[in-house]
């Protein structure tokens, strides 16, 4: 027994020594990690590097960021201020909040900073994209892509977008049970990008498979750039390869079949615009451009669409006020049924309250956190040096949350954007849901057009209610969305009597 006791004590002592050694090793390695980045400060500048933590070796604070969501930025902003350092997705990063700070970054493009997404994003989106290009290449690409989102192009997309949304809402209403709005909104925006924006005639079964692959791609666009088996980055690479094959097949089929088109889609415009600028696009450039267009039209629009529906559910008075505007403009009859005919850009442009609703959704529920840049030369921000070579991220959502021009910042209040109040008129960079400067989102007008059509169709043709007792939590990765989706029951309405359609009522009765 004595020897057994001694052996137990010895084993415990060994275990304790191992734990102490591991703890010391972690502490030392973390300290060296902090010093490693402190040493990168620009010695020619007397200002200090921003406060903050670089987290653990190699992974930095990526784990904290993924787990904390919106709490990550707010907790560190409260502790360190509007400018703080961290380490995310394999890169040292300085996060920036506040209109004046953001203005300096956005207006400093090409001389103070240059665009640089995280390595995983750059590699997965591809080198030929507008997002990854810089300087003259970026300017020329924007000229080519800008025609895709011109007034004439949007007017030609509008009837097709309205039809896709109408078909989708009918399908939602005919479903006997509640739907997951976020998942369905992703399918809707993906279908809009494929069918309307790009004009691809992909069979439904192949389209469903392509959607599943695209989801895997998007889920790993913001991942640690570690190319190991079963890593998110590897899954993203595999999804990109599969997508490229599917897109190349669709592009080749589309180029061979030009008959029966009643409008020029984005891919047609992209090809013609490139020729006008004296350059024939290669297949690889077409695939990268197509993938970027889907990316631009998909995740952020699905996020904003879900937020729009959630806010209309939370605020029935807003929905009713929207319906009153539609009645006043002749889009919705006083009896409640929608008027016949398609929408037009001028009609949507005259809906002032609708515009306020969309602006408020984009203010309070901006789909993406911000934009990434790399520092070309050391400069000063809020009394700190922003060293050359570091990454910097300007925060859109936190700038909205802390903007002094907005009253009751956490309250959903579309009227803050009305002509009587115009809370966004003071200061250009207090409100920037689509970024700013030379890299303002090219697709912002298409995104707002889609959201407006969705809101009009929801207010005109749908009755919907929350299928759960409470609204879901929100996460920010990879874009803002409900953690478990948004469970909502849609009901089909008779266009003449504003009642539930008989077939829908029958299906509902069958489930009781």
The full 3-state SS of 383-447, as one line of letters, equals CEEECCCCEEEEEHHHHHHHCCCCCCCCCCCHHHHCCCCCHHHCCCCCCCCCCCHHHCCCCHHHH
CA distances from 304 to 256, 377, 458 (A): 36, 35, 14
Is residue 422 situated within a structural domain?
yes
Is residue 332 situated within a structural domain?
yes
339 is in an annotated binding site: no
Q: What phi, psi does 250 have (nearest 5°)?
A: -65, -40
Q: Which domain holds residue 185?
A: 135-510
Instruction: Report the pLDDT value the prediction gives residue 336, as an integer from 0 to 100.
Output: 55
Q: What phi, psi does 44 have (nearest 5°)?
A: -80, -10
Is residue 338 situated within a structural domain?
yes
Instruction: Report the pLDDT value the prediction gives residue 360, as an integer from 0 to 100.
Output: 98
Lookup result for tokens 């559910």: 313
Pairing state between β 391-395 and 91-96: parallel
What's the pLDDT tens digit per position in 403-429? Answer: 999 999 999 999 999 999 999 887 789
Spatial CA neighbour of 129 closest among 295, 240, 373: 295
Contact predicate 388/376, CB 8 Å: yes
Instruction: Report the pLDDT value the prediction gives residue 96, as an integer from 0 to 100.
Output: 97
Is residue 58 situated within a structural domain?
no
- Give the rounded distance of the alpha carbon of 390 from its chain centre: 24
Instruction: Report the pLDDT value the prediction gives residue 89, as an integer from 0 to 100.
Output: 79
Binning the chain into helix, strand and coil, the percentages to the nearest 5 are: 55, 10, 35
Spatial CA neighbour of 451 closest among 268, 265, 312: 312
Query: Which positions of the chain have pLDDT values less than 50?
Result: 495-512
Contact predicate 440/433, CB 8 Å: no
Contact predicate 316/277, CB 8 Å: no
Instruction: Report the pLDDT value the prediction gives residue 496, as an integer from 0 to 100.
Output: 41
Q: What phi, psi does 213 have (nearest 5°)?
A: -65, -40
Contact predicate 475/365, CB 8 Å: no
Spatial CA neighbour of 202 closest among 157, 156, 153, 245: 245
Residue 506 tokens read as 């029958």
Beta carbons within 10 angstroms of residue 309's beta carbon: 24
Spatial CA neighbour of 347 closest among 62, 193, 154: 154
- Give the rounded distance of the alpha carbon of 182 from its chain centre: 13
Is residue 417 situated within a structural domain?
yes
Number of domains in the chain: 1
CATH number, domain containing residue 195? 1.10.630.10
Task: Count the residues in the chain.
Answer: 512
Is residue 26 situated within a structural domain?
no
Is residue 450 situated within a structural domain?
yes
Query: Which stretches within 260-414 are classed as H helix?
Result: 266-276, 283-314, 316-328, 345-349, 352-364, 396-402
Q: What is the largest CA-CA distance in the chain?
A: 95
Cβ burial of 276 (10 Å; 0-12, 13-18, 19+) is exposed
Residue 466 tokens read as 């929350």
Contact predicate 341/162, CB 8 Å: no
Is residue 366 situated within a structural domain?
yes
Helix (H) / strand (E) containing 214: helix 204-219
Spatial CA neighbour of 95 closest among 126, 133, 132, 64: 64
Q: CA end-to-end span of the chain, whole Å?
A: 69
Instruction: Report the pLDDT value the prediction gives residue 497, as an integer from 0 to 100.
Output: 36
Residue 278 tokens read as 């004296």
DSSP characters for 475-486?
A: E-SSSSEEBTB-
Instruction: Report the pLDDT value the prediction gives residue 178, as an integer from 0 to 100.
Output: 97
Lookup result for tokens 């020594």: 17
Residue 295 and residue 106: Cα distance in Å, rounded?
Answer: 22
Q: How many degrees, rounded to 5, is the angle at CA 294 between CA 293 and CA 298?
A: 120
Q: What phi, psi does 74 have (nearest 5°)?
A: -65, -40
């Amino acid at each position: 027994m004595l020897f057994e006791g001694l052996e137990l004590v010895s084993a415990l002592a060994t275990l304790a020594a191992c734990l102490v050694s591991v703890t010391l090793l972690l502490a030392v390695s973390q300290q060296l990690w902090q010093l490693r980045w402190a040493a990168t400060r620009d010695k020619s500048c007397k200002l200090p590097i921003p406060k903050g933590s670089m987290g653990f070796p190699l992974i930095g604070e990526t784990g904290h960021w993924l787990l904390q969501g919106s709490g990550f930025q707010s907790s560190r902003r409260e502790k360190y201020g509007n400018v703080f350092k961290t380490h995310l997705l394999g890169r040292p990063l300085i996060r920036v909040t506040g209109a004046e700070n953001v203005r300096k970054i956005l207006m400093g493009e090409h001389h103070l900073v240059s665009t640089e997404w995280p390595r995983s994003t750059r590699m997965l989106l591809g080198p030929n994209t507008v997002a990854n290009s810089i300087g003259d290449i970026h300017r020329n690409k924007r000229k080519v892509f800008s025609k895709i989102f011109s007034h004439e192009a949007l007017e030609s997309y509008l009837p097709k977008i309205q039809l896709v949304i109408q078909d989708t809402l009918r399908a939602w209403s005919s479903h006997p049970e509640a739907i997951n709005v976020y998942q369905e909104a992703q399918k809707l925006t993906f279908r809009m990008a494929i069918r309307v924006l790009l004009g691809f005639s992909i069979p439904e079964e192949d389209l469903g498979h392509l959607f599943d692959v695209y989801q895997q791609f998007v889920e790993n666009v913001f991942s640690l750039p570690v190319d190991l088996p079963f890593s998110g980055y590897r899954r993203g690479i595999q999804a990109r390869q599969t997508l490229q094959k599917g897109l190349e097949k669709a592009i080749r089929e589309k180029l061979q079949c030009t008959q029966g088109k009643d409008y020029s889609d984005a891919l047609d415009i992209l090809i013609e615009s490139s020729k006008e600028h004296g350059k024939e696009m290669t297949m690889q450039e077409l695939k990268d451009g197509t993938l970027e267009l889907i990316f631009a039209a998909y995740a952020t629009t699905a996020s904003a669409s879900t937020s729009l529906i959630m806010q209309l559910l939370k605020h029935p008075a807003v929905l009713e006020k929207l319906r009153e505007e539609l009645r006043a403009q002749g889009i919705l009859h006083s009896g409640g049924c929608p008027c016949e005919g398609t929408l037009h850009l001028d009609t949507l442009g005259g809906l002032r309250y609708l515009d306020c609703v969309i602006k408020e959704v984009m203010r309070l529920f901006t789909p993406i956190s911000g934009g990434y840049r790399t520092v070309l030369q050391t400069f000063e921000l809020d009394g700190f040096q922003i060293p050359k070579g570091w990454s910097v991220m300007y925060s859109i959502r936190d700038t909205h949350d802390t903007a002094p021009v907005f009253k009751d910042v956490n309250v959903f209040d579309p009227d803050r954007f009305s002509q009587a109040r115009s809370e966004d008129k003071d200061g250009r960079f207090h409100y920037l849901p689509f970024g700013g400067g030379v890299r303002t989102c090219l697709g912002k007008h298409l995104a707002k057009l889609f959201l407006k059509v969705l809101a009009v169709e929801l207010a005109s043709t749908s009755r919907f209610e929350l299928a759960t007792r409470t609204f879901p939590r929100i996460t920010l990765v990879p874009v803002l969305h409900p953690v478990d989706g948004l469970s909502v029951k849609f009901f089909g309405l008779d266009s003449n009597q504003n009642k539930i359609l008989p077939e829908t009522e029958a299906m509902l009765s069958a489930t009781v």
